[in-house]
Amino acid sequence: MDRTLEGRTALITGSTSGIGLAIAHAMAEAGAKVMLNGFGRPAEIAAARAKVGAAMGGGDAPYSAADMAKPAEIRAMVAECEATLGACDILVDNAGIQHVSPVEEFPEEKWDAILAINLSSNFHAIRAALPGMRKRNWGRIINIASAHGLVASPYKAAYVAAKHGVVGLTKVVALEVARTPITCNAICPGFVRTPLAEAQVGPLAAKHGVSEEAALTDYLLEKQPSKRWIEVEEVAAMALWLCGPGSGGVNGAALSVDGGWVAA
Secondary structure element (H or E) that encloses residue 126, with its range: helix 121-136
pLDDT tens sequence across 121-130: 999 999 999 9
**What is Dmax (Cα atoms) for the chain?**
59
User: Region 211-228: what's the mean pLDDT?
Assistant: 94
In this prediction, residue 73 carries a pLDDT of 98
* Residues with catalytic function: 159
What structural domains and CATH numbers belong to the chain? 9-192+230-257 (3.40.50.720), 193-229 (no CATH)
Rounded CA-CA distance 44/178 in Å is 39
- CB contact at 8 A, 58 and 85: no
Confidence band, pLDDT 50/70/90 cuts, at residue 257: very high
User: Region 205-210: what's the mean pLDDT?
Assistant: 94
User: Residue 168: is its pLDDT beyond 80?
Assistant: yes
User: Region 33-52: what's the mean pLDDT?
Assistant: 97
Q: Pseudo-torsion of CA 255, 259, 4, 125, nearest 10°? A: 50
pTM: 0.96
In this prediction, residue 31 carries a pLDDT of 97
Residues 6+ apart with CB under 8 A from 108: none
User: Residue 101: is its pLDDT beyond 70?
Assistant: yes
Rounded to the nearest integer, the mean pLDDT of the chain is 97
Confidence band, pLDDT 50/70/90 cuts, at residue 197: confident
- CB contact at 8 A, 212 and 202: yes
